[in-house]
Amino acid sequence: MCGIVGAVCTQDVTPFLLTGLQTLEYRGYDSAGLALLNGGLRRSRSIGRVSELGVLVDQKRLHGNIGIAHTRWATHGVPAERNAHPHVSGELAVVHNGIIENHAELRTILSGLGYEFTSDTDTETVAHLVEACLAGKVGQASPSLFEAVRAAVPHLKGAYALAVVHAAEPETLVVAREGSPLMLGQGDAGFYAASDASALISETRQVMYLENGDIARLSVGEVTIRDAEGQSVTRPVTTSPPLSR
């Protein structure tokens, strides 16, 4: 289980995402990728090092004020570009740390609803499930990405830290956690999320640790957290120590 970073800012988040992934490299990984919203969903993935992903991102001139990124340690599906995160469903993208235990059952249901799978991962089921909740193919159509993620997670069994963006909501980053670590930080230019506080340090050492069952909506000026019962909650801000490596 490797790394997640995400950000929604008043400026280009690409340098933060790549720096964050580099900070998490010591944990080991087999591939890396990121997705940015900038007049639509833009994605780049690589089975090489984060620095090689950076070269690809430069070549494609990717940038955006909101994005998610991931280093993968494969649990379902071989290390390959098609299995690297982010996984997409239409214009929605997801990064995930952890394991979705009921992925086979979800894959059968979502394939039956017409979703086409392009990877062997458990994670791709999450992308299609959230899209299905947004579209009203599972339950009633959700009015927002935040509500779609809230509608989707009760269907997931296993451990996850998730970060999700959708081109139709280019100012919203949604994250959720159950069993895998995830934390938020507020910087001068916006809000940040990561699976490890070290990945936030380039922007902030003031960190809010999400609890199991929490789902958060991040925008440039605001963060909203709901707990597993759907109650609006706040989480204490702690100061993370300086990097020792």
Q: Where on the chain is the footprint of ligand GLU (CB under 6 A)?
A: 1-2, 72-77, 96-99, 121-123
Shortest distance, position 21 Cβ to ligand GLU, whole Å:
12
Angle 243-35-107 (CA atoms, 0-180°, nearest 5)? 110
Shortest distance, position 223 Cβ to ligand GLU, whole Å:
24
Shortest distance, position 245 Cβ to ligand GLU, whole Å:
21
Shortest distance, position 23 Cβ to ligand GLU, whole Å:
16
Of 9 and 88, CB closest to ligand GLU: 88
Of 4 and 223, CB closest to ligand GLU: 4
CA distance 129 to 106: 8
Of 110 and 223, CB closest to ligand GLU: 110
Is the separation of the CB atoms in 85 and 120 below 8 Å? no
Shortest distance, position 183 Cβ to ligand GLU, whole Å:
16
Shortest distance, position 164 Cβ to ligand GLU, whole Å:
14
Single out the residue of 155, 146, 113 nearest to residue 132, CA to CA: 113
